[in-house]
Amino acid sequence: MHEVGIAQSILTIVEKEADKSGASNVKRVKLIVGEFTGVVKESLEFALDIVKKNTSAQNAEFIIETVKLKTYCQECDKTFIGKDDAHFLCPDCSGILGIVEGKELKIEFIDVE
Amino acid sequence: MHIIDVNSQILKENSRLAEENKKLFAKYDLHVTNFMSAPGAGKTTVLEETIKRISSKYKISVIEGDLRTSIDSERIEALNIPSYQITTGTVCHLDARMIHNALHDFKLEGSDLLFIENVGNLVCPADFELGEDLKAMVFSVVEGAEKPKKYPVMFHSVEVVLLNKIDLIPYSGVSLEELISNVKEVNPSAKIFPISCRTGEGIDEWIDWFIGKINSK
Ligand SMILES: Nc1nc2c(ncn2[C@@H]2O[C@H](COP(=O)(O)OP(=O)(O)OP(=O)(O)O)[C@@H](O)[C@H]2O)c(=O)[nH]1
Ligand SMILES: [Mg+2]
Ligand SMILES: [Zn+2]
């Protein structure tokens, strides 16, 4: 349940960016959240609803794109996407898989006026 | 309407402060370990057992993170080890700023090792870098062999997993083999030590590895 803290970090960055551009109202915020983080989408949405009050993003719509875990075997040059189990051994060569996607916690863009 | 390409890491402020912590630790030539686990897995007990075995050779300091109370800090101080308690209130993890602020009050000069005990939580602490050299996880084997698959993020984020309370295995029905194989599935390169703080089994093996780790820094 650290989504409240994450939401606060998001609002800090969003307000700073809006301020820099001289905007008074943030309409949309696009977030990228990897599935292989401790952040739960629904909890983050809930936290953002609370934290955005009395900020320039109070009416903003937060769009959260989740990114599936994507792993890669260097040995076999093969990519594995979105399996239910987080499995970090290559099914073909038993090598260790690296994470390519799924650890993201990013703000992509904001839409202001 | 005007789209601003922000492209910013949400936790960039935490990463920045973690880097600052790292520099400060380097200045004091400190080796820093972040111990994480679910509540009650045995972090404080592991610290106590580790301290008892190596405090004649290394000067150790401890930072304790808990939602409330300074009980854990008092347990460490009872071993004559300086300990600083961070009470986080409602926050379920330590972050780099809390460590940074603690370092204003808590003097680390002369210490060789800093142990940080994170808030008991199986999910959140894994997302926050503190500036540590080593991430260690304590897991209580009685919680079940399937947990690494259900909570893979923390298991994946650490270099070493201490499978604690193996003295309770006969009463728990948990298969240690299955548990180890699940940890390896989620983190194939993790070093795994089955230990019991009650009987002392496995602790020496963990400590030998840990000392090797400190020396290789
Ligand atoms: N049987 C047995 N009990 C243990 C072992 N290690 C720790 N315990 C017990 O487990 C309980 C919790 O241990 P702590 O060290 O306080 O756990 P913790 O992870 O620090 O707990 P929090 O800081 O509250 O999250 C205590 O009653 C310990 O005595 C062990 O190896 N075997
Ligand atoms: Mg404790
Ligand atoms: Zn492979």
For B99-151, what is each residue's pLDDT tens digit? Answer: 999 999 999 999 999 999 999 999 999 999 999 999 999 999 999 999 999 99
The CATH topology of domain A3-112 is hypothetical protein PF0899 fold (3.30.2320)
Mean pLDDT score across all residues of chain A: 94
Is residue B49 predicted with pLDDT exceeding 70?
A: yes
**Does residue B66 sit within a domain?**
yes
Measured by CA distance, the residue closest to atom 8 of ligand 1 is B42
* Mean pLDDT score, A79-103: 90
Interval between CA A96 and ligand 3 midpoint (Å):
8
* Mean pLDDT score, A70-93: 90
Residue A85 is predicted with a pLDDT of 75
Is residue B1 predicted with pLDDT exceeding 70?
A: no
Inter-axis angle of helices A41-51 and A3-20, nearest 10: 50
B186: nearest CB among A13, A38, A86: A86
The domain that contains B80 carries what CATH number?
3.40.50.300
Residue A86 is predicted with a pLDDT of 83
- CA B35-B38-B39 angle, to 5 degrees, is 100
**Does residue B1 sit within a domain?**
no
Is residue B42 predicted with pLDDT exceeding 70?
A: yes
Residue B57 is predicted with a pLDDT of 97
A-chain residue closest to B187, CA distance: A88
Straight-line distance from the first to the last Cα atom of chain A, in angstroms, rounded to the nearest whole number = 32
Tens-place pLDDT, residues B5-23: 999 999 999 999 999 999 9
Distance CA B135, CA B137 (A): 7
Range(s) of the domain holding residue B158: 6-215
Interval between CA A112 and ligand 1 midpoint (Å):
51
DSSP state of A96: B
Residue A33 is predicted with a pLDDT of 97
Of chain B, the percentage scoring pLDDT greater than 70 comes to 100
CA nearest to B122, candidates B55, B198, B186:
B186
Distance CA B217, CA B113 (A): 12
Q: What sign does the CA torsion over B1, B5, B8, B13 have? A: negative
Work out how many domains chain B is built from and give that number. Answer: 1
In this structure, the number of other CB atoms found within 10 A of the CB of residue A107 comes to: 23
* Mean pLDDT score, A2-27: 94
Residue A82 is predicted with a pLDDT of 78
A86: nearest CB among B2, B156, B184: B156
Distance CA B166, CA B180 (A): 12
A84-98, B29-43, B168-182, range with the lowest pLDDT? A84-98
Would you list the DSSP string of A54-65?
TSTTTTPEEEEE
Residue B181 is predicted with a pLDDT of 97
Is residue B64 predicted with pLDDT exceeding 90?
A: yes
Domain borders along chain A are: 3-112
Residue A1 is predicted with a pLDDT of 61
Mean pLDDT score across all residues of chain B: 96
Tens-place pLDDT, residues B151-180: 999 999 999 999 999 999 999 999 999 999
Q: Is B153 in the A-facing interface, judged by CB distances under 8 Å?
A: yes
Residue B217 is predicted with a pLDDT of 78
Contact yes or no for A10 and B124 at CB 8 A: no
